[in-house]
Structure 1
C-alpha cells in the first residue's frame, strides 16, 4: 500500500503541472442519461461528476490490494502469493507457485471492483435501465432499478443487476445480481447483497462492508448467508498511474 500511495503522490505532482482547456461538464446530463431515481442515487453517493473526475481507485479486501485506472478499467490485484491484472488488452496472471491462484483470472480481476464501485459502475455505457419489483426486508420496502446490458457489452452481457435504494435518502441499500460468465446463458437465479455501511472517500460514498443474504421464496432477503466482506485502505485520486504499473511483471 505504501508503494501505491507513493505512486499516487508522484502522479499527482506530475498531473498538477499540466494545464487543461476542458470545460467542466454540467451535471444536468444525469437527468438526460439516467432514470430520475438512479440520478438521485448517484448524487447521494457523490455525484457522477465526482466519479468521472476520479482517475485511480485502490482498496484492500481478503488480503489483496486492488488498484484500478477508472477511465480504462486497467487493473492490478496483488497479494503475497500472486498478482493478476488487466493491461488494457489482455488479462494476465503472475505467480511463483502454479497452485497459488485457483480462480479464473478473466472473471476475477474486476469482480470485487464491481461490488465496491457500486452504484457508479451502473452508470457505464451500454446499459439498459428498467423498473423492477421493490425488495422487502423487515417490513420496509426498497424501490429497485433493473440494469441489463446491450448485446456484446463486456464478457457477460447477459448479466443483470438490481439496485435497491432507501426511498427517503436515495442511498443504495441492496444489490441483486446474476452470474452468467460460466454458463454463457441468461439466468433467473440471483444473489442478494446488503451494503452495510459507507465511508466518504475523496467525495465518493463507498462501502466498508458487504453481506450476502439468504432469500425466501419471493426473493426477499431473510438472514445473512456468511460473514461480512470487509474493505479497507480505500484511496481515490484524480491522478493517473503510469501504464507500466498495470503491465504483467517481467519474469
Structure 2
C-alpha cells in the first residue's frame, strides 16, 4: 500500500512538471510571434501609425489619382505659355509619366528631347535659349502632385496660409544636397484642406546662381492651378496663372499664364524619344 501511494505521488509530480513545460513553450511561442510583428519606423506617430507628413502626401496623391496616372506609359498635352504679354512657348509636350523622358515639339518645328541622360535640340541651328528651363520646368509643374515623394525630396507641413482670402494647407518642399542641378530650389505647396487637390505653388528658381541664391530669394513667384478637368478620371489643371509672391502679401503682380489642352495618354512610347540625326546635344 505504501508503494502504491509513492507511485501515485510520482505520477502527479511528473504531470505537473509537464504542464509547466507546456505553459513555458506556449509563452515562448507567443513572445516569439510578438517579436516578429512589424511596425512603422519611428517616423510614425507611434504604434505603427503613418506620420502626419506621409498622410498629407498620400492624400494629395490620392486626390490626383497618382496610381491611375502611373498606370499609363506616357502623357502628351498642348501648352501655350506667355509672360508679360509675349509668347514664351507654343507646342506639344510628351513625357513618360515617371518623368524620365521628355519631348517638346514647338510650333516653329524645332524639338527638344530629354532621353533620360542628355538633352538634344533639333535641328542643330535652332535657338537653344532657355532650352534647359523649357525641358524641365513645365513638366515639373504639370507633374508636381506626383513628385512630392521622389527620392531626395523633403516635404514639411507648415501653417495654413491665405491666398485671395481663401485658406489653404501649406507644406514646404525642399531637396537634399546634390539632388538635381538646383538643390537650393524650394516650393510652398498650397492644397485644398477638404479635397487635398493642389491649388498653388510658390517657388524660387536658383539654376545658374552658383550657390548665391540671394537674387532668387528676393524674387519668388507663385503658380496658381485653375480650371481642373478630368481625363480618364484623373484631374488636371488646364489653366496656370503666374504671379509675384511674398510671405507677407501673398500674391502680388501678375506675370504670365499658361493654357493646357488635348491631354492624351499613351501606352507605348514607340520612337518618340529617339534622337533625330540632325540634332545637337545641349550642355546643361
Please give the range of the TM-score, normalised by the shorter of the 2 chains: 0.7 to 0.9
Conservation of the 8 A alpha-carbon contact between 2:223 and 2:242? yes
Measured against aligned partners, the alpha-carbon deviations of 1:31-80 in whole angstroms (never above 9, x if no partner) come to: 5795222211221111x322332220111112211111223521111123
Name 1:36's counterpart in structure 2: 55
CA distance in 2, matches of 1:165, 1:182: 30
Is the alpha carbon distance of 1:193 and 1:81 closer, same or farther for their aligned partners in structure 2, counting shifts above 3 Å?
Answer: same
**Offset of residue 112 of structure 1:** 1.0
SS at match of 1:231: strand
2:171 to 133, 145, 167: 145
CA distance in 1, matches of 2:128, 2:173: 30
**Offset of residue 158 of structure 1:** 1.4
**Offset of residue 188 of structure 1:** 2.7
Structure 2 residue 228 is matched with structure 1 residue 198: yes
CA distance in 1, matches of 2:176, 2:131: 24
Structure with greater proportional helix content: 2
Conservation of the 8 A alpha-carbon contact between 2:74 and 2:96? yes
Name 1:50's counterpart in structure 2: 68
The structure with higher relative contact order (CA 8 Å, sep 6+) is 1
**Offset of residue 113 of structure 1:** 0.8
SS at match of 2:67: helix
SS at match of 2:206: coil
Structure 2 residue 131 is matched with structure 1 residue 109: no
Aligned residue pairs total 215
Conservation of the 8 A alpha-carbon contact between 2:244 and 2:255? no
- Aligned pairs for 1:88-167 within 5 A: 88-95=116-123, 98=125, 100-167=126-193
Name 1:8's counterpart in structure 2: none
Conservation of the 8 A alpha-carbon contact between 1:137 and 1:222? no
Measured against aligned partners, the alpha-carbon deviations of 1:180-238 in whole angstroms (never above 9, x if no partner) come to: 11213344342111111111122321110100123356141146x0453101111124x
1:85 to 90, 94, 113: 113
Structure 1 unmatched runs, 5+: 1-30
Structure 1 range deviating more: 207-216 or 155-164: 207-216
CA distance in 1, matches of 2:184, 2:157: 17
CA distance in 2, matches of 1:202, 1:125: 28
CA distance in 2, matches of 1:143, 1:71: 26
Structure 2 unmatched runs, 5+: 1-49, 81-89, 279-284
**Offset of residue 86 of structure 1:** 0.7
**Offset of residue 102 of structure 1:** 4.7
Indicate the RMSD between aligned Cα atoms, in angstroms: 2.3
- What stretches of structure 1 move > 3 A for 4+ residues in a row? 31-34, 214-217
Structure 2 residue 264 is matched with structure 1 residue 235: yes
Please report the TM-score for the alignment, with normalisation by the length of structure 2.
0.68
SS at match of 1:196: strand
Conservation of the 8 A alpha-carbon contact between 2:57 and 2:148? no
